[in-house]
Amino acid sequence: MINTKTTISISEARRRIFDIADEVQAPNKVYSLTADGKPKAVIMSAEEYESWTETMEVLRECPDIFERVAESDRAVKTGDWSNFVSWEDVKKEWGLNVARNSKNKHDISNTSTKKRKKATR
């Protein structure tokens, strides 16, 4: 993922703020704002910010994630699945029921459903 970064002064950003807000909606587009030639702030889309925030949260909660991913990659390449837990075992451990057309509101459906619109009169 390569960011397209544009560096401009805060004064210029002030004049172009609405255009900048539109431009940063493009994937990986960010603006770096400077004051006296020194970086002071970054403008990015709200979606991009949420993505970064979520990534940082995952990295804090699972600091060994890179090692775990590498281990998973090795297991996939070698076919050694002995250290992995099956979806069936996870469901049993957590007491989850997966049902196609269950009437039990606590079951987890494995089919997607469309949201229905309310009928208008």
pLDDT, residue 101, reads 58
Q: What is the mean pLDDT of residues 12-29?
A: 97
Max distance between CA atoms of the chain, in angstroms, equals 65
Q: Which domains, from first to last, does the chain contain?
A: 4-53 (3.40.1620.10), 64-109 (no CATH)
Q: Contact at 8 Å (CB) between 23 and 44?
A: no
Structure tokens at 36: 């006296």
pLDDT greater than 90 at residue 96: no
Q: How far apart are CA 104 and CA 18, in angstroms?
A: 50
| pLDDT tier, 121 (very low <50, low <70, confident <90, very high otherwise) | low
Q: What is the pTM of this model?
A: 0.55
| pLDDT tier, 77 (very low <50, low <70, confident <90, very high otherwise) | confident
